[in-house]
């Protein structure tokens, strides 16, 4: 099977989205134990500082950051494993 990933023609777009994904991953450590609904307003407020030279707004990258946050949270909670099913406790 061949998977074709979409190619963006804008380096700025790619860089802004990459920054948002890293920010989402890092947020699990910055706001440990908090739900996305509690974390997201902080991230939205900090995006202007974190985005570097990207002109993308928080609305443009919110889904990228949220996806990365979800995966990082599963990993930190030890629920992301190839050898066992994902289970949520508590």
Q: Identify which of 27, 28, 63, 73 has the alpha carbon closest to the alpha carbon of residue 46.
A: 27
Please give the model's pTM, rounded to 2 decimal places.
0.75
Q: How many CA atoms lie within 13 A of 41 on its CB side?
A: 4
Give tens-digit pLDDT for 23-46: 999 999 999 989 999 999 999 999
Give tens-digit pLDDT for 41-88: 999 999 999 998 889 999 999 999 999 999 898 887 776 666 666 666
CA distance 74 to 28: 10
Cα 8–Cα 51–Cα 25 angle in degrees, nearest 5: 85
């Amino acid at each position: 099977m061949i998977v074709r990933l979409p190619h963006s023609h804008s380096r700025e777009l790619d860089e802004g989205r990459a920054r948002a994904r890293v920010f989402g991953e890092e947020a699990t450590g910055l706001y440990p134990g908090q739900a996305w609904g509690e974390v997201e307003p902080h991230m939205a407020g900090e995006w202007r500082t974190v985005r570097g030279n990207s002109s993308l707004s928080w609305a443009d990258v919110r889904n990228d950051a949220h996806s990365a946050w979800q995966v990082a949270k599963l990993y930190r909670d030890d629920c992301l494993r190839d050898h066992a099913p994902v289970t949520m406790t508590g």
